[in-house]
Amino acid sequence: MSFFTRKLNGKLNKNLNSNPMNNTATLLPVNTFVLARKNAWLLWLCQCLNIATIALELGTWMLAIITLSLTWQAFLLHRSFERPNSKKLAERRTKHAKNKQNGPVSPFVLATFAIAGCLTIVITAPQHGLLISMVHLLCFSYVLKAFELKARSDFYQLILLGIFVLASALIFKQDLAFSAMVVSLLLLNFVVLLQYFSSNNVFFANLKIIGILMTQSVLLAVVLFIVFPRLSPFWQIPIAKSAETGLSDTVKPGDIAKLTRSSKLAFRVSFEQQSPPVYSQLYWRAMVLEDYDGRQWTKRFKRDNNKPSQLYIEANKAGVKPITYQVLAEPSFQKYLFALAPANLSEAFNGSIIPQSDYTFLSSSVISQTKAYHLTSYLGAPIGVTLDDDSKALNLAYPKNSNPRLEQLALQLSHNYSEPLQRAQAVLNLINEENYAYTLEPPLLKNNSLDQFFFDTQSGFCVHYASAFTFLMRASGIPARMVTGYLGGEYNEKSATDNNKAQGHLSIYQYDAHAWSEIWIQGKGWLRIDPTSAVDPERVNSGWSDDLLQQQSALINELFSRSLFKNSDFLNALRLQFDALDYQWTKWVVGFSTKQQYDLLTAWFGNVKSWKVALIIVITLIISMTAVLFIFNWLNRADKKQHRQNLADKIYAKALLTLAGLGIDKPPAMTVNDFAKQIREKQPMLAISFTRLSNSYSNLCYQNVSEEDKALLTITMQQQYQQFVKNIKSHK
Amino acid sequence: MKISTFFGIHWLRALFERNFNRWLAKRIPSQSEHSLNSNNILIYPTRFGLGYVAIVTLIFLLGTNYQNNIILLLSYLLASFFISVMLHSFYNFSTLRFNSVNKQHGYVGEVISFPINITTKKQHYDINVLFADKQLINKSLTNKVSLAIAKKGTHTVLLPFQATKRGLQKIGRVIVYSEYSLGLFKSKTILDFAHHAIVFPKPKSLVAGQYQLSGQADEPVIESYHESTHSGSDDFSELKSFVTGESRARTAWKQLAKGQGHFSKHYQGSQGQLQWLKLSDMPGNDIETRLRYLSFLINELTAVNQVFGLDLHENSITGNSAKNIAPNTGFDHQQACLIALALYP
């Protein structure tokens, strides 16, 4: 209740104090906290935006409560700043104030809000997990605090909470655009704070000050970022339980078609000094699915019989040219990683990446933030030449009679083609020759029946074809399995730099998700066969066809659809440029590791020693401190003096130009006074007016006059100039 | 146990304050004019500033625990922003110039204002001025004077001091502080203008007839002075406007009857004997009360322009002239007398 009265009192005080009393001190009442109307609204806006950065992570109920209280806050603000334009309004306002003082509505509603919020946090806690619950608590207290701005310390606490909300938003998202947004919101938060101290200034003046201060701070921040030692985590922390994105360890027909509606980045790859392999070689292996239950394929988690190291020796023997590359995997909240099989880890990664016997890689923990790793791939080298009996049995298993018509076909095929490769080719030919369609909108299948797809609907996406193909292979006695991952990627050469010959990078998005199959042949090992190549060769060789793109943009209503970018070169160039920036950001800032830090420091300063680090920090500190003072001094001086001086210079120059029009030139070496003397002798008509002008000018330039006098003198000089011009005209 | 720690803290605090004051006296000596520069500005974080540091540390821990480079970068940015703000605070506070008259008068119970002139070369924000002595602050009405914005030029702030005790009051130092730009830092200086207030006793009115002005019969020196200055007595000198409280006997009836106004006749040495206000003549046992009567009489006599002297001996017999003020009249005389009252031991 006192909240309102304080606000009202405060406003009255403010009105009293707002008289122009520049040269006398105003006695401010003690212990009343008032925000000016403009600033109160700015604070509210700032709160909304801060919450918006993290809104995607909040639960629906929490979001609803927060929205409601922010709306209510806006309503209260509107009320309290209603202007008493007329008597009636003023009367109404006092009535309101009385009502507010007496009526128990407000605290009741506030208490209801608080209770509702706390209940929501408690009830949804098991569902959301610890981290999100804590974020809920943070956001909720941040919103509620705004109702309790009784003293300046409350305002300060609100600002600090806001900054912390911004920092927590970065747990979930770290890309360049988002980080830039967070920093600009940080600026806004500080402007609100500054506005409290200098409410007379306009918003942009304050923004300028904060902007300068922040720019000043960047240097030290960057140096700290580079040289300050990375510490290992102090304690166990709750990991974000965000929704898993990307592929999953079970796949049924139609799954990946849904995934292609997302244009989210999956991972980026840079091939450093080499040029990337051709598109059709870019099969990014993520998971191998071996269990088939008649409806869906599931990854089998089994103990590894093959020691990972053996796999790589086998690969090395093949004598193919190895290619090395770095993968920057975006957070997927899953464990699988991406590689061009067969691949070898370039570094040990302390066991945080575990190579699997099926030539995939698993992260030891859920990928909740960008993960960088180096791989060496041997494209074309055979994989899994030996196959133990267990695996063989597993890769031949299928539920009998799950797809009777396909089983029939398989029997027929095995009869006709005794060679496994021929048999596979026959299936591909069949798919190619028959009227099969490759579409993002496959018709629904009853019980995910492959029979229905293969013989009736005959249209599907990659999983349909890979499933049917793998099933046919297994049914005809060839060990086969399903592999999921991504195919291709968008090559962006904007990130290429000339000096170290780095090539551009590949960006692989969720819509590049793909499924294919592998068959095992004695002596050759696992061979990759992609049935999609039989139905839509363009997809495999160069990427999405226009048909598919159109289908996609019809399915998703994104503002910037891919087909839009494909049609506009300018927009596409812009997008690629931003992607390149974001890539550098991800590589150098988001993924800046202890090792990178060590390498960089040794490259710059030789061996890394703590005194060197301290010295660098101190030097930077001194540089940025002097820069701050220098800049503000300079701005202050530049603001006023320069302007006035320039005006005087301009007027004098104009006068000289007019004289030059009459054929009188001032030699550059001659002083202002001497020139005036010369005019007096040669042009007595102009003598008086020009001498006056010259005197004012030399006074302004060379004499020590106070600022007020300077302003006056400048004005006088303007008048004298007009006199001078009149004088000339009358003599003509 | 508890008491001993308490005393320990108290002792430490006293030690600190003594050292601090000594340091301060050396650093910012007593002057009538002060100009702020790096020698006399203290900058330290406010509670909000410490809270900010805590939040930045928390963000750093968050970043470290999540091994999140962007959060780490944010914490570094906030930390170096903190330093930039400190310098901006300093920039806002430096080059201010202050000057002040160090002596002010007033009566007990009055609010005595100490004007402080602030001269600025550029625009400054959030300048707060107050007395450093905490005991003074508690008693006064508003303890600080704030200047939300100080544009280029000279500004005057009036620092109020509630006078409660007669005598010479040393006010101590003046604190000037600013929390601009973001409230993270307090830029502060503790200036010494050697401010002091001379507090006169509060006038207490005496009913007429309760006292009488008496001569200083047993003071030959004064007597001869009296004789030499006032040769003839009862020489009419001038007519002056009637002042309430004057004797009706002196009314210039002729002029009053003519309707020219109410005047009273004044004679050279018309008071007959030289008038002395004597402390020993005042009624009451309490010395303070007697001084208050004297304060009242001094004002009254000055208002009627009467010549009087002041004798501050407690009993009339003492022959020491050191506590006497020779008879005179006028504002300066009044002030001298009042000051003598104020400084009476």
Write out pLDDT tens, residues A571-588: 888 888 888 888 888 888
- Establish if B37 belongs to a structural domain: yes
Residues from chain A contacting residue B143 (CB–CB below 8 Å): 30
The answer to whether B51 faces chain A, any CB pair under 8 Å, is: yes
Shortest Cα distance from A200 to chain B (angstroms)?
8
Shortest Cα distance from A177 to chain B (angstroms)?
12
Shared domain check, A395 and A539: yes
Shared domain check, A697 and A648: yes
Shared domain check, A421 and A560: yes
- Establish if B210 belongs to a structural domain: no
The values of phi and psi at residue B278, to 5°, are -115, 135
Between A and B, how many CB-CB pairs are < 8 A?
A: 175
Beta strands in chain B (DSSP E): 33-35, 42-45, 97-100, 103-107, 111-120, 124-131, 144-150, 153-162, 167-178, 185-200, 235-241, 263-268, 276-278, 308-311, 324-328
- Establish if A242 belongs to a structural domain: no
Tally of structural domains, chain A: 3
**How many Cβ atoms are within 10 Å of A98's Cβ, its own excluded?**
10
Banded model confidence at residue B261, pLDDT cuts 50, 70, 90: low
Banded model confidence at residue B249, pLDDT cuts 50, 70, 90: low
The answer, yes or no, to whether residue A259 has pLDDT greater than 50, is: yes
The answer, yes or no, to whether residue A500 has pLDDT greater than 80, is: no
In whole angstroms, give the CA distance from residue A628 to residue A625: 5
Q: In chain B, what is the greatest distance between 2 CA atoms, to the nearest angstrom?
A: 105
> B27 Cβ partners below 8 Å, 6+ apart?
B39, B40
How far CA B3 is from CA of A37, A584, B16, in Å, comes to: 51, 63, 20
Which tens digit of pLDDT belongs to each residue from A384-393? 888 888 888 8
How far CA B188 is from CA of A282, A427, B37, B120, in Å, comes to: 66, 86, 11, 16
Shortest Cα distance from B150 to chain A (angstroms)?
7
- Establish if A98 belongs to a structural domain: yes
More confident residue, B236 or A634: A634
pLDDT of residue B139: 55
Banded model confidence at residue B1, pLDDT cuts 50, 70, 90: very low
Which tens digit of pLDDT belongs to each residue from A19-49? 333 333 334 444 467 788 888 899 999 999 9
Check residue A2 and report its DSSP letter.
Answer: H
**Contact (Cβ atoms closer than 8 angstroms) between residue A532 and residue A539:** yes
The answer, yes or no, to whether residue B234 has pLDDT greater than 80, is: no
**How many Cβ atoms are within 10 Å of A714's Cβ, its own excluded?**
18
Q: Which of A31, A171, A219, A589 to mutate to test the interface with B (most CBs of B within 10 A)?
A: A171
Shared domain check, A346 and A276: yes
> A183 Cβ partners below 8 Å, 6+ apart?
A214, B74, B77
pLDDT of residue A690: 83
B71/A167 CB distance under 8 A: yes
Shortest Cα distance from A605 to chain B (angstroms)?
22
In whole angstroms, give the CA distance from residue A381 to residue A50: 52
Shared domain check, A578 and A628: no
Tally of structural domains, chain B: 2
- Give A59-105 as a 3 state SS string: CHHHHHHHHHHHHHHHHHHHHHCCCCCCHHHHHHHHHHHHHHHHCCH
> Residue A407 is which amino acid?
E
**Exposure letters A417-445 (e unless 16+ CB within 10 A, then b):** beebeebbebbbebbeeeebebbbebeeb
Shared domain check, B142 and B42: yes
The answer, yes or no, to whether residue A609 has pLDDT greater than 50, is: yes
In whole angstroms, give the CA distance from residue B285 to residue B314: 11
The beta-carbon neighbor of B183 closest among A193, A234, A235 is A193
Shared domain check, B181 and B53: yes
- Establish if B120 belongs to a structural domain: yes
pLDDT of residue A435: 85
The beta-carbon neighbor of B77 closest among A24, A174, A217 is A217
**Exposure letters A660-696 (e unless 16+ CB within 10 A, then b):** eeeebebeeeeebeebbeebeeeeeebbebbbbbbbb
The CATH number for B129's domain is 2.60.40.10
The answer, yes or no, to whether residue A313 has pLDDT greater than 60, is: no
What DSSP string runs through B161-205? EE--SSEEEEEEEEEEEE-TTTSSEEEEEEEEEEEEEEEEPPP--
- Establish if B151 belongs to a structural domain: yes
Q: Which of A28, A134, A182 to mutate to test the interface with B (most CBs of B within 10 A)?
A: A28
The beta-carbon neighbor of A193 closest among B151, B154, B182 is B182
Can you say whether the dihedral through the CA atoms of A384, A386, A387, A388 is positive or negative?
Answer: negative
- Establish if A455 belongs to a structural domain: yes
What average pLDDT does this structure show over B216-242?
46
Shared domain check, A205 and A86: yes
More confident residue, B255 or A132: A132
What average pLDDT does this structure show over B185-193?
90
What value of ipTM does the predicted structure carry? 0.76
Shared domain check, B130 and B55: yes
What is the residue range of A618's domain? 614-731
Shared domain check, B180 and B138: yes
**Contact (Cβ atoms closer than 8 angstroms) between residue B78 and residue B59:** yes
Banded model confidence at residue A723, pLDDT cuts 50, 70, 90: confident
What is the residue range of B180's domain? 25-200
- Establish if B2 belongs to a structural domain: no
Shared domain check, B76 and B150: yes
- Establish if B12 belongs to a structural domain: no
pLDDT of residue A560: 62
The beta-carbon neighbor of B149 closest among A198, A209, A228 is A198
Shared domain check, A329 and A188: no
The beta-carbon neighbor of B158 closest among A25, A168, A179 is A25
Shared domain check, B180 and B224: no
pLDDT of residue A315: 53
